[in-house]
A = this chain, B = another copy of it.
Amino acid sequence: MTQYRVRDPDAIGVAVIGCGRIGLVHAANVASIPNVRVVVAADLDPAAAESGRAVTKAERATTDPLAAIADREVEAILLATPTDSHAPLIRAALRSAKAVFTEKPLASDLRATRQLVREWRNTGVPLQVGFMRRFDPGYVAAKRLIEAGELGRIEQFRAYSRDAQMPSLEFLHRSGGAFVDMSVHDFDLARFLVGDVIEVFAWGSVLYDDRLNDLPDVDTAIVALRFANGALGVVEMARHSRWGYDIRTEIAGVEGKVIVEASNKTPITLSRQGRSELDHFAGFEDRFADAYKAELNAFVEALAQGAVPAPGPDDALETMRVALAARDSWHRGRPVRVARLG
């Protein structure tokens, strides 16, 4: 594997590609890293590209992502475009030997994902996937405790996720469905914190929006997980939440248990009329604001030090296999082995 190397670790040239909502969050974060110099912001929409330029104080804006990738001053790509374009743009970056940080997923189906991972392997080009939860201080601490043996042998994994608001039907139609689009973050945490998942069983229901029956998709689901190490797990999801973004994860072992949960967004408790009230996070942008920064810091630091950034393509591929097995189990109404999907 050729060693990818940045020219000046103190001034790494970056192109921001995709300046929509999450793209601008990434753009501001990467621009605030001292050893990053944002060279160009790209978006098919000129106004979005200009917003990206302004936020990053980049030198240039462009509506041509491939030009941004090809730019000689650019050494790393920050990719936050729609899912469909991930694979071709990553492929272009790999050819130009530009490091990539990409929002998940790598590609929209398993076949395309495997193909891309195969192309990436042995290129030596750093490629990090945006499973930002791994960088949340809560999950970082959980990982450290588990690795230090503080919980003993792991017995249970338990994840609960409710998004604040259901996405548009148009988005859902292209999303791959609840198991692939939403629970994939919990499957990644399951693998990150406990290990390989070998079998899943899933049930889903449409309880909130009947139109999902036509896709078909579900708005409420349970996935039981069996891990290679014998531990059992469960991932629950719902597409909407009146009380706010609700992401909680537990890992229990013989010796101890850790709960990752951010229950009160503002450090305030309001008491009145017999009750005390706490507030909630509104969505992933505020709940994981620090994680979004931390994942980019880690990516840039890996580039500066010549290290391999993580989570990488293999993690993305394995997590997608779990998600697809869950979707398959929902379809078939019986347990599905993850390995079978091959």
Q: How many residues of A contact B (CB 8 A)?
A: 80
Most chain B Cβ neighbours within 10 Å, of A137, A152, A263, A266: A266
In the complex, the count of this chain's copies comes to 4
Q: Are B236 and A156 in contact (CB under 8 A)?
A: yes
If A158-B236, A260-B268, A266-B138 touch, whether A278 touches B279 (CB-CB below 8 Å) is no
Q: Is A41 an interface residue (CB 8 A)?
A: no
Residue of B nearest to A137 (CB): B266
Residues on the B chain within 8 Å of A201, using CB: 201, 203, 224, 335
Nearest-CB residue, chain B, relative to A238: B155
Residue in chain B with minimal CB distance to A160 = B158
The answer to whether B234 and A234 touch across the interface, beta carbons within 8 angstroms, is yes
Q: Assuming the A-B contacts A156-B220, A276-B243, A276-B278, are A256 and B270 also in contact, with contact meaning beta carbons closer than 8 angstroms in the complex? A: yes
Residues of A within 8 A of B (CB): 10, 28, 31-32, 34, 37, 54-55, 57, 136-138, 141-142, 145, 150-153, 155-156, 158, 160, 162, 201, 203-205, 207-208, 220-222, 224, 226, 230-234, 236, 238, 240-244, 246, 252, 254-280, 282, 333-335
- Given A158-B160, A240-B254, A334-B334, 4 additional A-B pairs, CB 8 A: A137-B268, A205-B231, A244-B274, A259-B271
